[in-house]
């Protein structure tokens, strides 16, 4: 890991996103105090943390394995950390009851972990972290052990709870949808460096590199030529370029076009293509299309029931949404 510089605003939820081995969990563990950085400084507010042990940092972590004690009921699991602090019994009980209500565990206080579902166990782990009222809340891929439907539900609950309690949070995941749906900002990491920091919409619409464009969402990378006024010529189509950067007239560039920015039609269009693959996915249909003068592209067509599923072998018109193209660096 090198040249990592990150500032998290109070009350912000920032997600570290990247493939396995990119350094996101290592960075989280250094912030928590579980690993020691070889160089650089870590601050909580204006307090230097480098020489502060993990148990002296005002931070708690929610693990992917839940790490709840099987011999303790929900109430005692949630209150375990408070037992190590000089807090009165009455305040301890009040804090536990309050956080059980926040996390939807009211009425389950005396249940054993074996009597809980996976989602309820994750809520216990979350409640145990929040009850400590930490300065920083850390999440290490907390939803990776849950099934897809429960993951969707829990990420909404985590985001809602984090906003209600206002705890500054760092969240680690390799799931792009998870990162996009819960984050104030996303830090995209690759090979131990930060490729981009931005809001979910910035990272998705204006990726700083080809790696970010390819990792966050699905992508079509197409050849283009910069024309007059910064317009982009993509095959026989011409598009405005909302972010021209330093691209010069006549320059050959690579552009990113998201699959949902392409639309198939039986009407006349600037581009024509033959359908190579068609998949019905319910709310959308996904097509692989061989476009004349460009090559193969992926197209996501919304509401396929309105026109019916286009068939493999059909030749279709292909329209591009305005401002759909974004020039990307070929550096991976």
Question: What are the residue boundaries of the structural domains of the chain, listed by start?
Answer: 13-212, 218-328
Sorting pLDDT into bands at 50, 70 and 90, what band is 97?
Answer: very high
DSSP 78: H
Tell me the CA end-to-end span of the chain in Å, nearest whole number.
Answer: 17
Instruction: Give the burial class of 47: count Cβ atoms within 10 A of its Cβ; 0-12 exposed, 13-18 middle, 19 or more buried.
Output: exposed
The pLDDT of residue 129 is above 80: yes
pLDDT in tens, 228-256: 877 899 998 988 877 666 778 888 999 99
> What was the pLDDT predicted at 65?
81
Copy the structure tokens of residue 28: 């989280």
What pairs with residue 223 in β-bridges? Answer: 254
The highest-level CATH class for domain 13-212 is alpha beta
Q: How far apart are CA 316 and CA 269, in angstroms?
A: 9
> What was the pLDDT predicted at 17?
97
What's the rounded mean pLDDT across residues 150-175? Answer: 92
Say which residue the tokens 């552009």 belong to: 255
Say which residue the tokens 């050849």 belong to: 223
Copy the structure tokens of residue 199: 């809001």
The pLDDT of residue 331 is above 70: no
DSSP 266: S
Say which residue the tokens 């989280």 belong to: 28
DSSP 197: E
CB count within 10 Å of CB 143 equals 25
> What was the pLDDT predicted at 213?
94
CA 245 and chain centroid, separation: 26
Q: How far apart are CA 56 and CA 90, in angstroms?
A: 24
* 72 vs 331: which has the higher pLDDT: 72
The pLDDT of residue 78 is above 90: yes
CA 230 and chain centroid, separation: 32
263-to-215, 217, 228, 294, 320 alpha-carbon distances in Å: 23, 18, 25, 15, 6
Q: What is the dihedral of CA 247, 205, 214, 197, to 10 degrees?
A: 90
The pLDDT of residue 332 is above 50: no
Domain 218-328: CATH architecture, name and number where available: Beta Barrel (2.40)
Q: What is the pTM of this model?
A: 0.90
* 303 vs 203: which has the higher pLDDT: 203
Which distant-in-sequence residues (6+ apart) come within 8 Å of 42 by Cβ?
A: 30, 31, 48, 49, 50
Q: How far apart are CA 134 and CA 278, in angstroms?
A: 50
Copy the structure tokens of residue 118: 């996976």
Q: 269: left (phi > 0), else alpha (psi -120 to 50), else beta?
A: beta
pLDDT > 90: what percent of the chain? 72
> What was the pLDDT predicted at 139?
95
The per-residue b/e assignment along 159-195, b for 16 or more CB within 10 angstroms, e otherwise, is bebbeeeebbbbbbbbebebbbebbbbbbbbbebebb
Sorting pLDDT into bands at 50, 70 and 90, what band is 305?
Answer: confident
């Amino acid at each position: 890991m090198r040249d990592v510089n990150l500032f998290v605003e109070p009350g912000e939820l920032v997600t570290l996103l990247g493939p396995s081995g990119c350094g996101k969990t290592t960075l989280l563990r250094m912030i928590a105090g579980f690993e020691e950085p070889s160089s650089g400084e870590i601050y909580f507010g204006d307090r230097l943390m480098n020489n502060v042990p993990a148990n002296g940092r005002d931070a708690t972590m929610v693990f992917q394995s839940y790490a709840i004690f099987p011999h303790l009921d929900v109430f005692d699991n949630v209150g375990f950390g408070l037992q190590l602090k000089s807090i009165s019994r009455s305040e301890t009980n009040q804090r536990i009851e309050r956080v059980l209500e926040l996390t939807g565990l009211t009425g389950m206080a005396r249940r054993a972990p074996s009597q809980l579902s996976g989602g309820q166990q994750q809520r216990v782990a979350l409640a145990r972290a929040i009850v400590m009222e930490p300065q920083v809340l850390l999440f290490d891929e907390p939803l990776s052990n849950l099934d897809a439907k429960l993951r969707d539900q829990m990420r909404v609950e985590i985001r809602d709870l984090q906003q209600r309690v206002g705890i500054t949070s760092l969240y680690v995941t390799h799931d792009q949808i998870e990162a996009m749906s819960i984050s104030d900002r996303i830090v995209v990491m690759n090979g131990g460096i930060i490729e981009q920091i931005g809001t979910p919409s910035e990272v998705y619409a204006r990726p700083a590199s080809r790696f970010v464009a390819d990792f966050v969402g699905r992508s079509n990378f197409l050849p283009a030529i910069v024309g007059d006024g910064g317009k982009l010529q993509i095959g026989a189509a011409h598009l405005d370029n909302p972010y021209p950067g330093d691209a010069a007239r006549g320059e050959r560039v690579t552009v990113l076009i998201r699959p949902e920015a392409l639309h198939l039609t039986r009407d006349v269009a600037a581009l024509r293509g033959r359908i190579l693959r068609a998949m019905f996915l319910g709310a959308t249909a996904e097509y692989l299309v061989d476009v004349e003068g460009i090559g193969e592209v992926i197209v996501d067509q919304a509401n396929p029931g309105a026109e019916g599923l286009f068939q493999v072998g059909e030749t279709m018109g292909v329209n591009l949404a305005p401002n759909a193209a974004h020039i990307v660096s070929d550096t991976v």
